[in-house]
Amino acid sequence: MKKLAYILLILLSALAVACNENRVITTQPAPEIIVENGGVYATRQGIAITLQPRVESSEGALFGWYREGVKVGSEPSYTLCEEEAGTYYVMLRVENASGKDEEEFRVEVLELRPPKISFLTKNGVLEAVVGVATRIVPQVSAGDEAKYEWWLNDEPLSGDAVCEVTLHAEGDNTLRLAVENEDGRTERSITLRGVHHLTGSVGFPAPAGLGYTDVKYVSRGRSIVLAPTIEAFAEPSFEWRVAGEVISQSPQLRLAVEKDCEVVLTVSDADGYTLTSTVTIECCEAEGHYRREATAQSSRRWNRVWEYMPAAGQFIGEDKSGFTGAEHSAADAAAYAEKRLSEGKFLSLGGFGGYVVVGFDHSIVNKEGADITIYGNMYATSSEAGIVWVMQDSNGNGEPDDEWYELRGSEWGGENHTTRYAVTYFRSEGERMPIRWQDNRGGEGEVPYMAAHRQPSYFPQWVEGDHYTLYGSHLATNTTTLPSGVVSHNPYAWGYADNLGSDSVGSSTDDNDAVACHLDIANAVTADGLAAELQYIDFVRIQSALNGYDSSMGELSTEVLGVEER
């Protein structure tokens, strides 16, 4: 029986081989979707994109495209066109008798980026000296590989990104630029004004730090030093008059005050260009008359933020830094700063010139040693020095509208310290663009836009117009590159806020970790560097003193976390 069963098995095997020789039996594999580029595609608003991935074993298969669970197509390809920028997901399912495969694809619909054009204009006007070639450099976003066209009074000028113009007569001209890229075309016109001398400025910075003032308050018996800030003068000469009489021809004037008077300053240069500035000196009660004594209820801590006016910077307007988008006035900005400091969080002053002014519920007496403490967030490789100013309420109105005195720091009067420095910041035409600046010494640059801070603009939203100017004293940047490649922003020796000098205690570990700097009212000086000899002060102003940038940190900006009596 075993032999018969073995023979039968051999015959059946042979028969199976014979059948397969005449008819091949196969099974089709399940489909497989081949994903390329990680399944990510990109297009722009209003521009169609077709998804058609390669699919193996797709013959006779059924295709299904799905968006949010709803079937939107049954062909091997799917075309998507969206008017709104954003991220969209599309799922493809392919199936046959042997099985199925599914893959999800992500489509990034990017915003159209037609060019946006900005110029360094003041109220839409750019000046050019007659007979001198003026090089005009616009700020253009999405301008790479774009086409440029310039016109002057509708006459073609140039097709370059930068334009050079020579005017031959005084007066207003229309300068027009068109820039076109693959996403669109933008045109911008400005007034190009021919002048024989660039418009300069002469004046005395207002206590608020914005613009000039025409009145100064001084306690009877004290001296005031008038030190003008000037712009667009070559080799200036000065003439000071009181009651029509020339009393000085020095760049600054020291005046002992015993009564009200009017001081007229005339500044001229070798070209014959002349400007005049007049300031009224109001003689107030003798020092001490309006001094406010501390009581048992008095607080060592500041009790009001009077003003907050930052320079352009990466933290300005950013919701992560506490801005709500509702700050549309100087009062709103001060309220924001007050809330921020009350919560123990850092307040950024932005680039050079940005400042905050705080007051107290009593006068801070100038005693032996340090009198005030200002908190910053500095650490070993990051000091962003701020200059500190103090004010006495000379006119007794309870407001910070009197004379500011700079607290002398280690760099005062040296090569790293510049007085009467001013920087003008210009609003960009489009969002997410750098903020350009010019100073009153012929320098210019920009506050770059950073990927880590994505708010629409670093320009303070409550500032009206296309530019604003901040005034103050300037410190040179103090940086070195360590062997590790880290850029170290080194402290100055003493006398500054947010500076890890000999008058500071500790070191921060995060942005909101307050580190104290102890400062002495006795270091207050007049504009000519002599001791102010103040008996007390009522207001403190911290001003960002650096004008620099680090690609890893952004603009160098003083941060403040609090101010109090020592």
Q: Are the CB atoms for 351 and 312 separated by under 8 Å?
A: yes
Q: Which of 343, 337, 387, 378 is nearest to 496 (CA)?
A: 387
Instruction: Using the 3D structure, point to which of 95, 110, 125 is the last residue of a domain.
Output: 110
Q: What is the pLDDT of residue 552?
A: 81
Q: What is the pLDDT of residue 26?
A: 55
Band of the pLDDT at 263, cuts 50, 70, 90? very high
Q: What is the CATH number of the domain that holds 151?
A: 2.60.40.10
Q: How many CA atoms lie within 13 A of 344 on its CB side?
A: 5
Q: What percent of the chain stands above pLDDT 90?
A: 88
Quote the domain boundaries for residue 388.
Answer: 304-565
Q: What is the pLDDT of residue 486?
A: 87
**Does any domain span residue 26?**
no
Angle at 252 between CA 249 and CA 253, to 5 degrees: 80
Q: What is the pLDDT of residue 25?
A: 54
Average pLDDT, the chain: 93
The answer to whether residues 380 and 488 belong to one domain is yes
The answer to whether residues 240 and 371 belong to one domain is no
Q: What is the pLDDT of residue 14?
A: 43
The answer to whether residues 435 and 506 belong to one domain is yes
211 contact partners, CB below 8 Å, separation of at least 6:
203, 205, 469
**Does any domain span residue 530?**
yes
Band of the pLDDT at 143, cuts 50, 70, 90? confident
**Does any domain span residue 328?**
yes
**Does any domain span residue 70?**
yes
pLDDT tens string 415-436: 999 999 999 999 998 889 999 9
**Does any domain span residue 12?**
no
The answer to whether residues 128 and 240 belong to one domain is no
Q: What is the pLDDT of residue 16?
A: 41
Domain count for the chain: 4
Instruction: Using the 3D structure, point to which of 84, 110, 136 is the last residue of a domain.
Output: 110
The answer to whether residues 472 and 359 belong to one domain is yes
Is 327's pLDDT higher than 50? yes
Band of the pLDDT at 1, cuts 50, 70, 90? very low
Is 140's pLDDT higher than 70? yes
**Does any domain span residue 105?**
yes
Q: What is the pLDDT of residue 451?
A: 87
Torsion angles phi and psi, residue 157, rounded to 5: -115, -55
pLDDT tens string 210-223: 889 999 999 999 99
The answer to whether residues 264 and 413 belong to one domain is no
**Does any domain span residue 215?**
yes
Which residue type sits at 120?
L
* Average pLDDT score over residue span 521-532: 97
The answer to whether residues 554 and 427 belong to one domain is yes
The answer to whether residues 163 and 207 belong to one domain is no
The answer to whether residues 97 and 235 belong to one domain is no
Better-predicted residue by pLDDT, 144 or 368: 368
pLDDT tens string 266-287: 999 988 999 999 999 999 999 9
Q: What is the dihedral of CA 373, 378, 379, 384, to 10 degrees?
A: -130
The answer to whether residues 75 and 153 belong to one domain is no
Q: What is the pLDDT of residue 342?
A: 97
Instruction: Using the 3D structure, point to which of 161, 195, 229 is the last residue of a domain.
Output: 195
Q: Are the CB atoms for 196 and 134 separated by under 8 Å?
A: no
> How far is CA 319 from each of CA 311, 335, 350, 404, rounded to the nearest angstrom?
17, 15, 15, 32
pLDDT tens string 77-117: 999 999 999 999 999 999 999 999 999 999 999 989 899 99
Is 65's pLDDT higher than 60? yes
Q: What is the pLDDT of residue 509?
A: 86
Q: What is the pLDDT of residue 391?
A: 98
The answer to whether residues 246 and 362 belong to one domain is no
Q: What is the pLDDT of residue 11?
A: 41
pLDDT tens string 479-520: 999 998 889 999 999 999 999 999 999 898 889 999 999 999
Q: What SS3 class is residue 319?
A: helix
**Does any domain span residue 14?**
no
Q: What is the pLDDT of residue 114?
A: 92
Q: What is the pLDDT of residue 204?
A: 95
The answer to whether residues 226 and 134 belong to one domain is no
Q: How many CA atoms lie within 13 A of 141 on its CB side?
A: 17
Is 387's pLDDT higher than 70? yes
Is 258's pLDDT higher than 60? yes
Is 323's pLDDT higher than 60? yes
